[in-house]
Structure 1
């Protein structure tokens, strides 16, 4: 028998960590990527390392995070344990890859009249650099009647933010329309 020790490579430690961060219930509806980055200020995250996970009504349910190193991930664990507002759960890199992120280049119009056509929405958005129709339409339950929502995409974050600033709380067919930038 050969008594020489054979060198076995240790399991490769991933240099990145993928997690889902969620709150007690869900994240606030106006939660931004920058809010998460500032909360986890010791973790060296960038805007590209955060993807907000929305439900069908575009309310944030959590966020997928990609940590640049194991140390960064461990710092996030320490911070979330101390703060107790959020919890981290490991996810596979596949979850990260399959999650589509709008990266702040889309705006959700809420309260659009059900009778509004694409040209009415275009008229409402006049003066902004939106991408041409078709727009994505959704209806969610509301009181006293369902609320129509329209997702409008823009070429850049700046265009989406400018549209939000200029048009939020405007009127489409005499109905007030609120807007949210979708991260």
Structure 2
């Protein structure tokens, strides 16, 4: 009889304890994750891997200090350890088609560093600065496949230009004739593209110093 009373009393104590637990305020039952010092959202800052592993891939640079006589081969000769070909360089021209700089595409950061070292050692007349991909893409590549006709009279028409280029194989749809003011008065600078470098050189050899409407024309190859 005593054992039955003890068991009943024990059951009553357990029931009361359970009721007390149910009465605990909800704040104490919140998941401990909400109190963690870790942010719930991933951080957008640079990771440690970005510092331990330097960026790889293509690098771009701009070489200034060039003149109208500076060629791609001149730059390649100076940067001989950077494994460059002519297709990795673009000449940046101003509106008068005078060269401003040479844009260079490097295969890796180490190639850019080697070029910077070579410039400091062998090409002190030039200056190399890093640029982004957008600046490289913004430069139109001529690659020796375009010529510039200087001295075309302002009254010249596309037909006059085509007669001047008679015997040359070129892209007639590429002819552009923006007018330009000079000391001799208004003239047109004509840009013409060719299918290959060989055809552009042929036009230069056969047409340079020729005449269009009694004006002597100077032919330049754009690189």
With the length of structure 2 as denominator, give the TM-score of the two structures. 0.72
Between Structure 1 and Structure 2, which shows a larger proportion of helix residues?
Answer: 2
Match of 2:55 among 7, 13, 17: 13
**Of 31-40 and 146-155, the range deviating more from structure 2:** 31-40
Residues 1:178 and 2:218 aligned together:
yes
Question: In 1, Cα distance between the equivalents of 2:200 and 2:137?
Answer: 24
Query: SS at the partner of 1:141?
Result: strand
Other-structure match for 2:135: 95
Query: SS at the partner of 2:152?
Result: coil
Residues 1:49 and 2:88 aligned together:
yes
Q: How many residues align?
A: 174
Residues 1:158 and 2:198 aligned together:
yes
CA RMSD, Structure 1 to Structure 2 (Å): 1.9
Q: Compare relative contact order (CA 8 Å, sep 6+) and give the higher one, 1 or 2.
A: 1
5 Å-filtered alignment, 1:73-92, equals 73-82=112-121, 83-92=123-132
Structure 2: which 5+ runs fail to align? 1-46
Match of 2:108 among 69, 72, 88: 69
- With over 3 angstroms needed to count, the CA separation of the structure-2 counterparts of 1:8 and 1:134, relative to structure 1, is closer
Residues 1:28 and 2:70 aligned together:
no
Other-structure match for 1:4: none
Query: SS at the partner of 2:189?
Result: strand
Structure 1: which 5+ runs fail to align? 1-6
User: Deviation of residue 11 (structure 1)?
Assistant: 4.1
